[in-house]
Amino acid sequence: MAEPLLEVRALYKHFGGVVATDRLDLKVVAGGVHALIGPNGAGKTTLIAQVSGEVEPDSGRILFAGQDITALPAHERVTLGLARSFQITRIFRNLTVRDNVALAAQARSGSSMRFWRPVAAEGALAAEADAVLAGLGMAALAGQTAGSLAHAFQRRLEVALALACRPRLLLLDEPLAGMGAEDAQAMVGFIAQLRERATILLVEHDMDAVFRLADVISVLVGGRVIASGTPQAIRDDPEVRRAYLGEEQEAA
């Protein structure tokens, strides 16, 4: 089997007495969508934060494309090709959609310790932003102020910003958060079109979306992966049903 794009080995993290990540192992191979599911408090968001570098693990290792990135600062991981979206939207609300994406383009095009030349004169940045937006069917929104967009489009911009980093691995943390059924449906289509451009590690609560998008599903319970496999295998796994899916169905 090919070397995994992302490999997490015996990752451990606790906050006070709460163990959020309990000697967790995970492999994400290149290509396709790998979904991460689990009940609330299973440690999904903490895991994403450790992979992206915002939270430092207590022990264990994280390897990206064969390189140990456990101690690498978050911004350097982005340079290596690891970008993320946030569960709680983090966009530049007072900037236009184009300027939002242009900031991502600027991050990849050399130093920003430049103090003299107006950034507005750098046509290449705006052009790249427009190209990214056009590729995602968002060209019509380019001139709008990000904060004035409808929630569903703010969520798309959230993902577009991560994609504009041209990642090899895209971490999507609950991209459907706060969406109604109709918007969620459209967002699933939006994410589906990204699979050609990057490997996706998807954390999502919406089971319909997960089973429609994922090639591989890992189930996280109590900070560990209790099962990993194809959607069909996960659906049929008795332990998963007992620990998670059943509970959800009962709740629904």
Can you give the binding site for another protein, defined by CB under 8 A?
A: 52, 54, 73-76, 78-79, 83-84, 86, 90-95, 99, 103-104, 106-108, 111-120, 122, 161-162, 164-165
For another protein, the closer CB: 103 or 192? 103
Instruction: Write out the two tokens for 238.
Output: 């008795």
d(CA 25, CA 13): 13
For another protein, the closer CB: 114 or 242? 114
Q: Whole-number minimum distance, CB 144 to another protein, in Å?
A: 14
Q: Residues 249, 243: contact at Cβ < 8 Å?
A: no
- Residue 97's contacts (CB-CB under 8 Å, 6 or more residues apart) are 133, 138, 141, 142, 143, 144, 145, 146, 149, 157
Instruction: Write out the two tokens for 69.
Output: 């990135």
Tell me which residue of 27, 2, 26, 24 sits closest to 13, measured CA to CA.
24
For another protein, the closer CB: 160 or 179? 160
Q: Residues 105, 131: contact at Cβ < 8 Å?
A: no
Q: Whole-number minimum distance, CB 73 to another protein, in Å?
A: 7
For another protein, the closer CB: 90 or 242? 90
Q: Residues 187, 172: contact at Cβ < 8 Å?
A: no
For another protein, the closer CB: 148 or 230? 148
d(CA 147, CA 59): 39
Q: Whole-number minimum distance, CB 201 to another protein, in Å?
A: 14
Q: Whole-number minimum distance, CB 215 to another protein, in Å?
A: 25
